[in-house]
Amino acid sequence: MDGPALLVEHLTKRYEGATAPAVDGLSFAMPRGATWGLLGGNGAGKTTTIAMLLGILVPSAGRVRALGHDMAGEERFAALARMNFSSPYVALPQRLSVIENLRVYAHLYTVPRAERRIAELADQLQLGDLLHRPAGALSAGQKTRVALAKALINRPELLLLDEPTASLDPDTGDWVRGWLERYRAESGAAILLASHNMGEVERLCGHVLMLKQGRIVDQGSPAALLSRYGRDDLEEVFLDIARDRRRARAAAE
C-alpha cells in the first residue's frame, strides 16, 4: 500500500491547566519498513506523542494518520488492528498465565489460527517453558519477551515501542535488539522506538527525532547527527541538545 506508515501534521497537545504544551506542532512522515527513534529527556513529550499516535489521547490540534487511517475518530480501529504497542509501564494481567495472556490478545486482535501463531512466537522468543507460568512470576527479561510476543501477536505493520529494553541487563537488552532487527528485516514492519538508551537508538534506528519541550529540535540519521554535532556518540548529541551546549559553546567562542 502507498503512503507513509505514520503521517503526523502539526500535532499539538496542551493538557488542561498546563501553561505550556506537552507536544508542540510535531510534523513528520515515517516511511513503511523504517525504524525511527524518538529521543528526548524526561518530559520531552515522547509518551504523549506515542499516546496520540495510538489514538488513546486526543490531540489539541493537528492530526495523525497511521497506515492511511485518521486516528482521531472511528477509523482508528482499522489501523489499530494492523499495529501494536509495548511499554514496560503498561502491564499484562499478572495472574493469567503467559499463554492465557497471548490468547486474550489473539482474540482482541482477531488473529487467525491463534494457537499456531502463539506457538510460532513461543518458539521465536524462547517462551516455550514459560507459557503456563503466571505472567507475574516472570523475571524482567522474561516479561519483556512476553510483552514483545503480545506486541507481535497480530504481525503488526506498525510497531510502537516505548523503552523496550528499560530495566533489562545488557545481555537480555542485546538479545531484544537483535530480535527486533531480525523482525523488521523479515516482516518489513515500521518501528517507532522511544528510548533513553542511545546505543540502542544508534544501532536500530535509521532516523532519529530529537524532542525537547514537545518540539522536534533536530532530526536525521544517527550518522548525520553525529557529524552535525561533531560527536562520537549519540549520548553526547543528546546532552548537547538537552543542555543547549552547542549554543553555549558558540556564545563562548
Q: How far apart are CA 110 and CA 96, in angstroms?
A: 19
Contact positions with other proteins (CB under 8 A) in 115-144:
none
Binding mask 208-237 for other proteins (x = CB under 8 A): ------------------------------
The three cell numbers of residue 12 are 499539538
Q: How far apart are CA 28 and CA 34, in angstroms?
A: 13
Checking 50-57 for CB contacts under 8 A at 24+ apart, the result is 50/85, 50/87, 50/160, 50/162, 50/192, 50/194, 52/11, 52/13, 52/23, 53/6, 53/8, 53/160, 53/192, 54/80, 54/83, 54/85, 54/160, 55/79, 55/80, 57/13
Q: Which residue number, 93 or 178, has a Cβ lying nearer to other proteins?
A: 93
Smallest separation, CB 3 to other proteins (Å): 20
Q: How many residues bind other proteins (CB under 8 A)?
A: 38
Task: Give yes or no for a contact between 77 and 41, defined as CB atoms under 8 angstroms apart.
Answer: no
Contact with other proteins (CB under 8 A) among 3, 29, 31, 91: 91
Contact with other proteins (CB under 8 A) among 9, 70, 75, 100: 100
Contact with other proteins (CB under 8 A) among 38, 80, 180, 194: 80
Contact positions with other proteins (CB under 8 A) in 5-24:
13, 15-16
Q: Kind of pairing, strands 35-40 and 190-194?
A: parallel
Query: Does position 96 bind other proteins by CB under 8 A?
Result: yes
Contact with other proteins (CB under 8 A) among 150, 184, 207, 212: 150
Q: Which residue number, 148 or 241, has a Cβ lying nearer to other proteins?
A: 148
Contacts with other proteins by CB under 8 A lie at: 13, 15-16, 47-48, 51, 54-58, 74, 77-78, 80-81, 84-85, 87, 89-97, 100, 103-110, 150
